[in-house]
Structure 1
Amino acid sequence: MMRTRPLKVALLGCGVVGSEVARIMTTHADDLAARIGAPVELAGVAVRRPSKVREGIDPALVTTDATALVKSGDIDVVVEVIGGIEPARTLITTAFEHGASVVSANKALLAQDGAALHALAEEQGRDLYYEAAVAGAIPLIRPLRESLAGDKVNRVLGIVNGTTNFILDKMDSTGAGYQEALDEATALGYAEADPTADVEGFDAAAKAAILAGIAFHTRVRLDDVYREGMTEVTAADFASARRMGCTIKLLAICERAADGGSVTARVHPAMIPLSHPLASVRGAYNAVFVESDAAGQLMFYGPGAGGAPTASAVLGDLVAVCRNKLSGATGPGDSAYTQLPVSPMGEVVTRYHISLDVADKPGVLAQVATVFAEHGVSIDTVRQQGRQDGGGEASLVVVTHRASDASLNGTVEALRNLDTVRGVASIMRVEGE
């Protein structure tokens, strides 16, 4: 039977995502009530600029006092879409302490303080849901912590930032340089005026921390994630990738060690074979590739950002949390029982593509090969080409077999000390093989 007293929802933030959440709550009110078993009522909307016109939202609901809203004592669920660390952290903890469960899209906060927030939610008997924090509309967190709860996940490999994927896809498909592709992404609204969080990998690193923690049932914080941005990727790198039958993506990679004793989490540009499912992810879309013991390989694909797609994930969590409220239960919480250590980047093993500018004279290749051998890095292929502009220099491209990151770094430092090596043009990992 339908409960007549509505469940009250406080909305913190009414920007691109928050306004869509409010709109869907209003336009789909009957459907949401039927799915939940009770009506849901928007009881208040906390904003910074109350004078702004917000279509479809009763001005009487708008307040600048978010603390008073979450402290009111009659709020069932707080939806937090303001982002950042503070005041979001304080507001969420206050909501738990005053009887509300929380739905959040705040990747930065969850990557930094997820463990503490989960602990407080459990202590207070509340829910903390955050499907929208990682991949927009793509259902990912719930499959990892519920559908695959009986399986052992070994690897999560994904494109989790639409801005960077749009830029790299544009560079690949048109031959554009990085700045030209970034300018187009900005003009189309895919990139912020300050794109640092996206292009330097901070956004993806926060998402990688969340994914690794859920997938491997351990504590992974943002500081544990190795991060490289993609601002140094060039048209020449894409040309080399095409010669190898690859493309380049900014990847979030979370792995469990073969012996199961540790995990790694990293974000960086990488070459992946065109045959890999992630290679075909175009434009501003996201996709995550999961590998587990029993289920095998799973692919999750869809829009990873935007008001409506992200609001879809938020509303899915809202329905789940409201159902839990009615039944007097809470959903799955933190499951960090394994307490696995996070290995440093130096222990990560993969293949590498190294492009060197070298003197165009006999014996150079032998010198370079000797340096690789001395550091225990095995060479798979070598390609040498003289520069068209002459000048006595050549381009030497080396692709290695699998080696540790520490061994590769030692190799590169030694190469830089060779008189015949004029410079290391680029270093890129090769994944997905």
Structure 2
Amino acid sequence: MKKVGVALLGLGTVGGGTYRILSEMREKIKSTDDVDIEIIHVLERNQDRVRELGVDPKIVSTDINNVLKDPRISIVAEFFGGIEPARSFLIQSLKAGKSIVTANKEMFSKHWSEFECAAKEGNAGIYFEATCAGGVPIIRTLTASMQGNTIQSIQGIVNGTTNYILTKMADEGKDYDSVLKEAQKLGYAEANPSADVDGFDSMYKLSILSTLCFNKKVPLNKIYREGITGIDKIDIENGKKFGYTLKLLAIGKLNDGKIEARVHPAFIANENPLASVKGSFNAILINGDNVGDIMLYGRGAGDLPTGSAIVSDIVYCARQQTHKLSSFDNRPEAVSDEDFENDFECEYYVRMNVMDKPGVLAKIAAAFGKYDVSINSVEQIASQGSANIIFMIHMTQESFINKAIKDIKSLSEVLAVNSIIRVI
């Protein structure tokens, strides 16, 4: 039986979950996968955490050299989070011939090409199943199960915090601020929630996923990003009247050889399978030209769900004779503007508050028409001295709607353009 030594860098939430799974499942993995995985070393400063998990203190230190110089260790799993020292430690590990496993999506999306260069130098592997959707096996699906397809699109709910917030707002009619505070108390949202609610977390994940889908590097600066901080419960309720559910989506598409990548709130039809994904769950919908639609669903965060993906990577890595890296040029300098579509097309929901007087609708319609923006329907709700108007807009280009809205905002009769939400 093959014996494989592993080092764990950190015993935080996911690191602790991984330690538990590897310890409890060691005998099962030996019997089912014919590999004996032993935790040789752990990097951790917090001795209380070491005692809490029952880790042998003899294998714990704070010195990365204890990992790099130990020939028994062939796999290094990282749980620090952030960029440094995680990036430096993993590059050193790869150059030392040790394969790496990580759930660190920000670091990986920003430094993937550096890791590949180091992996080639050290003849080691890179495994990152846990970076994109916790326990959902999306990476292996894309890399090992879709060879008979050209992937046309990927749409996903890949952030549990924002999905929890939007679900609560929809189901209980609560406003954004109150649900965010509730999510923070429950541990679903950080004290500084920007990475989640401003769409950065989803953007990091989409960079990784769309790169794999389209076999071409999709850097962060080619992804449009918009978060959920401006979402009003009024718009969620209005969406219900039209048969829509609001979600924060990560979207990647291949159109006529060009890649479209964006993260933003979107109304989706209630019949869309993603509409039924509630709470902190994740789900990803892939479309291949031959297989059609495939949807993966599960928990996108947490110690054991994410630890499950980490352990899967460790076992998978341990069984490989050779390590596969990207088949495309993954360097930042290989990216060309010509490969990306920035002016994407959507339908739109637009809500605005205007003076309740004759001729206002005609002026707004003229502004839309000036840029070939076609109105599908109009709903007007009068209030004291003003009117709230909801426009549902036919499919149009992003640049066209932006130009039209700019002109509409300049009209003296328009008091505010409250919401612009894309409809998928």
Q: Using the alignment, how far apart are the partners of 2:5 and 2:279 within structure 1?
A: 38
Quick one: which of 302, 306, 312 aligns to 1:310? Answer: 306
Match of 1:385, SS state, is strand
Question: Distance in 2 between the 1:42 and 1:280 partners?
Answer: 40
Please say if 1:408 is aligned against 2:404. Answer: no
Q: Percent identity?
A: 38
Give the one of 168, 180, 183 matched to 2:181: 183
**Corresponding residue of 1:197:** 195
**How do 1:24-423 residues align onto structure 2 when only pairs under 5 Å count?**
24-52=21-49, 53-257=51-255, 259-260=256-257, 262-324=258-320, 328-330=321-323, 332-336=324-328, 341=336, 346-387=342-383, 390=384, 392-423=385-416
Q: What 5-or-longer segments of structure 1 have no aligned partner?
A: none
Query: Structure 2 vs 1, CA of residues 105 and 173 (structure 1 numbering), >3 Å: closer, same or farther?
Result: same
Q: TM-score, normalised by structure 2?
A: 0.95
1:93 is matched by which residue type in structure 2? I
Q: CA deviation at 1:337?
A: 5.7
1:340 Cα deviation (Å)? 7.2
Which one is further off, 164-173 or 19-28?
19-28
1:332-388 deviation line (CA, Å, top 9, x unaligned): 32133697746667411111111111111111111111000101211111111101x
2:52 aligned counterpart, secondary structure: coil
Q: Which amino acid aligns with 1:29?
A: R
Partner residue of 1:12? 9
CA distance in 1, matches of 2:71, 2:94: 10
Paired with 1:67 and 1:200, the residues of 2 have a C-alpha distance of 37
Quote the Cα distance in structure 2 between the aligned partners of 1:340 and 1:275.
37
Q: Deviations over 1:231-264 (max 9, x none)?
A: 110111112101110011111011111x12x102
CA distance in 2, matches of 1:35, 1:317: 15
Cα RMSD after superposing both structures: 1.6
In 1, the alpha carbon distance for the partners of 2:145 and 2:278 equals 27
State the alpha-carbon separation in 2 of the partners of residues 42 and 346 from structure 1. Answer: 46
Distance 1:345 1:419 in 2: 34
Give the Cα–Cα distance (whole angstroms) in 2 for the partners of residues 56 and 335 of structure 1: 42
Distance 1:44 1:148 in 2: 36
The one-letter code of the counterpart of 2:393 is: T
The answer (yes or no) to whether the contact 1:356–1:424 under 8 Å persists in 2 is: yes
- The 1:384/1:346 distance shift into structure 2, 3 A limit, reads farther
8 Å CA contact 1:346, 1:404 repeated in 2: no
SS at structure 2 position matched to 1:76: strand
How far, CA to CA, are the matches of 1:203 and 1:101 in structure 2? 25
One-letter identity of the residue aligned with 2:326: D
Report the 3-state secondary structure (helix = DSSP H, G, I; strand = E; otherwise coil) of the residue aligned with 1:229: coil
TM score, norm. by length of structure 1: 0.93
Count of residue pairs the alignment pairs up = 419
Give, in angstroms, the shift of residue 404 of structure 1.
Answer: 1.1
Question: Offset at 1:38?
Answer: 2.9
Q: Which runs of 5+ in 2 are unaligned?
A: none
- Is the CA contact (8 Å cut-off) linking 2:350 and 2:392 kept in structure 1? yes
Offset of residue 75 of structure 1: 1.3
Comparing 360-369 and 44-53, the one that deviates more: 44-53
The CA deviation at 1:60 is 1.1
The DSSP-based 3-state class of the residue aligned with 1:39 is strand
